[in-house]
A and B are shown apart, each in its own frame.
Chain A
Amino acid sequence: MEIKDDNISAMCRPAVGEAGKTGDWRDATPVIDHAKCIASVKNRPACYLCWLYCPEGIVKAGIPIEINLTYCKGCGICAEECPARAITMVMHEEAKK
């Protein structure tokens, strides 16, 4: 329910993708090896450090884990912090040049 208040002249509304599809920013993509991921191996909620540290809040911590690549900026924090080394950052062809 939206309340109109004439005293407020410039009010923003929340929306996903305010800066566009920020997945475009990436020059490397996180690729998950589910055979190494602790949550998948144990087949129960476990570890989820990738979810904890992702600055974008776009890791879905299920079994298996999923990353929303439309908005993943490719920072590589998830890969760096993964204790099982289950995530690899794969460089894009253009970025290698």
Chain B
Amino acid sequence: MPEKLFKVNAEEYILPGNRACSGCGLSIAYRYVLKALRENTILTLPASCLTVLHGLYPITSVGIPCLNCTFASTAASASGLVAGLAAMNRSDITVVAIAGDGGTFDIGIQALSGAAERGTDFIFVCYDNEGYMNTGTQRSSATPMGALTTTTPILTKQQHKKDMMKIMEGHDIPYLATCSPSFPIDLYDKFVKAKRIKGTRYVQIATPCPPGWVFPPKDTVKIGRLAVETGIVVLYEIENGKFRFTGRSKTISEKGTRAPVIHYVERQGRFKKMSMEQLGQLQRWVDGKWNEYLRRAEA
């Protein structure tokens, strides 16, 4: 059976017939996030595509207990859940906050920074679809340079993506990781590991979004894979300060087979107005990050 083949939990926690778009990258990722976290988990999430996936009152599509919190308070609500569980002596339950890039990079950042600085014992997950997708593709600080959004409709986004991993690393937390739904087993293993660690853990998932990024739903897994092949997304983990490439990114780093970003950019409608100059800037930005990772992996 597939569970044995791939060595993952057989249970499905997302029920069929949910509200997520056809071919949603978040749906694939979330299947494996929940498989890895299992039953003794409490989720808290702010408004986002994920709340839509979770469903409308009085029905939900997800079989794990979940609190719906307000936008800016995701990590604060997690801190409350942790304190409540501690008061009830329920150390067996893991608290997991999960928000979009808007809810993490922009609106949720101060509560998240506060919780991380206090060393709150929880996992914060950011699923990054690079924009405010649930409200119709507005720009966020996670949107890459050169992308069209409904708030950057003419000139495309002029700034590079914010390096949220670096900001979170600045909090000296015990575990940080990046992952992608195109590599579900790498993602699963990271969540299994994160669940075992104490303290604040931060995991960022790069989730392709067909309507927001303007590509056909059948290509979600391919686009996610191209992101990794080109170094736009790099799979790694940082455990107690030690950087390590994982999975496909590890292979690319060893063989030196990173592809140019154009292979990734050309397949998405959101980049159709990107200038050659921007393309060059994006490539240099990716090169710079990649070289930094290479240095860290060697150290």
Residues of chain B with a CB closer than 8 A to A80's CB: 218-219, 221-222
Choose among B17, B27, B217, B218 the residue that contacts A17 (Cβ–Cβ < 8 A): B17
Given contacts A76-B218, A80-B222, contact A14 B17 (CB under 8 A): no
Choose among A11, A18, A48, A51 the residue that contacts B19 (Cβ–Cβ < 8 A): A18
Residues of B1-34 whose CB lies within 8 A of A: 1-2, 4-6, 12, 14-25, 27-28, 31
Q: Shortest beta-carbon distance, B180 to chain A, in Å?
A: 12
Residues of chain B with a CB closer than 8 A to A16's CB: 15-17
Closest residue on chain B to residue A53 by CB atoms = B221
Q: State whether A53 touches B2 (Cβ < 8 A).
A: no
Q: Shortest beta-carbon distance, A27 to chain B, in Å?
A: 9
Q: Shortest beta-carbon distance, A21 to chain B, in Å?
A: 6
What per-residue 1/0 map shows which CB atoms of A68-90 lie under 8 Å from chain B?
10110111110111000000010
Q: State whether B23 touches A17 (Cβ < 8 A).
A: no
Q: State whether B23 touches A73 (Cβ < 8 A).
A: yes
Q: Is B83 an interface residue (CB 8 A)?
A: no
Residues of chain A with a CB closer than 8 A to B27's CB: 55-56
Q: State whether B61 touches A14 (Cβ < 8 A).
A: yes
What per-residue 1/0 map shows which CB atoms of B58-101 lie under 8 Å from chain A?
11111100000000000000000000000000000000000000
Q: Shortest beta-carbon distance, A53 to chain B, in Å?
A: 5
Choose among B14, B23, B54, B57 the residue that contacts A75 (Cβ–Cβ < 8 A): B23
CA distance A33 to B111 in the complex (A): 52
Residues of chain B with a CB closer than 8 A to A61's CB: 1-2
Closest residue on chain A to residue B219 by CB atoms = A80
Q: State whether A52 touches B184 (Cβ < 8 A).
A: yes
Residues of chain B with a CB closer than 8 A to A45's CB: 1-2, 4-5
Given contacts A55-B27, A55-B31, contact A79 B218 (CB under 8 A): yes
Q: Is B156 an interface residue (CB 8 A)?
A: no
Q: State whether A14 touches B58 (Cβ < 8 A).
A: no
Q: Is B143 an interface residue (CB 8 A)?
A: no
Q: State whether B219 touches A18 (Cβ < 8 A).
A: no
Given contacts A75-B217, A77-B220, contact A56 B60 (CB under 8 A): no
Given contacts A12-B59, A18-B56, A18-B61, contact A55 B24 (CB under 8 A): yes
Residues of chain B with a CB closer than 8 A to A26's CB: 22
CA distance A52 to B2 in the complex (A): 8
Q: State whether B2 touches A77 (Cβ < 8 A).
A: no
Q: Is B55 an interface residue (CB 8 A)?
A: yes
Most buried by B among A19, A26, A54: A19
List the interface of chain B (C-beta within 8 A of A). Answer: 1-2, 4-6, 12, 14-25, 27-28, 31, 54-63, 184, 216-222
